Structure 1
Amino acid sequence: MANLARFDPFETAVDTLFRNFLRPTFDWDVQRTVRGVIPMDIWETDNAYVVTAELPGVRKENINVRVFENQLVIEAEAVQEKQAGEEAKQLLGERSYGKFSRAIVLPTEIDQEHAEAKHEDGVLRLTLPKRADSVAKRLTVQ
């Protein structure tokens, strides 16, 4: 049975040499997925933006959401908790911990007074109504 290898047309011979040299001590693919950017989806309706952001392992007390004009900032911290006693030795650690944030500029201003945030099952869901006076008016072309 033949082994399959993923081909990356943008990878250089130096990248391959570097990765193979460090393979015994450094898992390249795991390091690419280290938390640093909060993955999110944003939808727009006529009156609001709906944002969902993945925050697995983050307690709602450790999430800070700020809205100012048309800017959204999400800050969070994943805290590592000891799963076993102090005498236990960790054999594998692929989960990432620490502080991270994401800032987004939306096309129109947000009505801060009516914005809502809910956190459930590791997903933050924001409903950000557009300010009535900043919603673009569609003109009829004659």
Structure 2
Amino acid sequence: MSREISNLSSLSDVARFDPLGSFEDLFRDFRQAPLGRWMEGRQAMKMDVSENEAAYLVKADVPGMKKENIKVDIDGNKVSIVAEVSDSKEEKDGETLIRCERSCERMQRVFSLAHEVDAAHAVAKYEDGVLALTLPKKNGKEARQLKID
């Protein structure tokens, strides 16, 4: 055994030996799995929520979406924002699609507020990738899907 150790040029050669591959390689392989690719494509919807005496004000980042692809549902104090777009794959003569990362995107955020929302008077506006919601407070429960201006 001492003969085998003497053949190593230094202790750093032992430290470099890794029979399982690098720790980084392990996770790179995991990210390449179908579930890993699915998770990488998903984006978290970032938002700010503020409140005054009369209403909640919500600003949510929904970049790259058209207002037609955004759905806001209100049910009592529960608010759901879903934005989904699915681009069709365009094929051109003489071109081969090598990688497509823009074909389908979905963002979703569901949250509850301390007070119920007056869905009949709620307002949604979408401009420059930001969805702005004005959600008036109400006593009682009413469900409604908002039209985005």
Give the Cα–Cα distance (whole angstroms) in 2 for the partners of residues 65 and 84 of structure 1: 33
As a proportion of its length, which structure holds more helix? 2
Give the Cα–Cα distance (whole angstroms) in 2 for the partners of residues 15 and 110 of structure 1: 49
Aligned to 1:126: 133
Report the alpha carbon displacement of residue 36 of structure 1 after superposing the two structures with TM.
4.8
Aligned residues: percent identity? 36
Gaps of 5+ in 2: 1-21, 141-149
Residue by residue, what CA displacement relative to the aligned partner does 1:83-119 show, whole Å, maximum 9, x if unpaired? 6736533445444724442210011111111100011
Is 1:64 aligned to residue 71 of structure 2? yes
**What root-mean-square deviation, in Å, do the aligned CA atoms of Structure 1 and Structure 2 show?**
3.4
TM-score by length of 1: 0.64
Classify the secondary structure of the residue corresponding to 1:61. Answer: helix
TM-score by length of 2: 0.61
Give the Cα–Cα distance (whole angstroms) in 2 for the partners of residues 96 and 51 of structure 1: 28
Q: 1:111 to 1:60 in 2, by over 3 A?
A: same
Aligned to 1:19: 27
Range that drifts further, 70-79 or 90-99? 90-99
Aligned to 1:35: 42
The number of residue pairs the alignment matches comes to: 118
Contact in 1 for aligned 2:58/2:132 (Cα 8 Å): yes
Equivalent of 2:122 in 110, 115, 140: 115
As a proportion of its length, which structure holds more strand? 2
Q: Which one has a bigger Cα radius of gyration?
A: 2
Give the Cα–Cα distance (whole angstroms) in 1 for the partners of residues 61 and 94 of structure 2: 33
Q: 1:75 to 1:16 in 2, by over 3 A?
A: same
Aligned to 1:45: 52
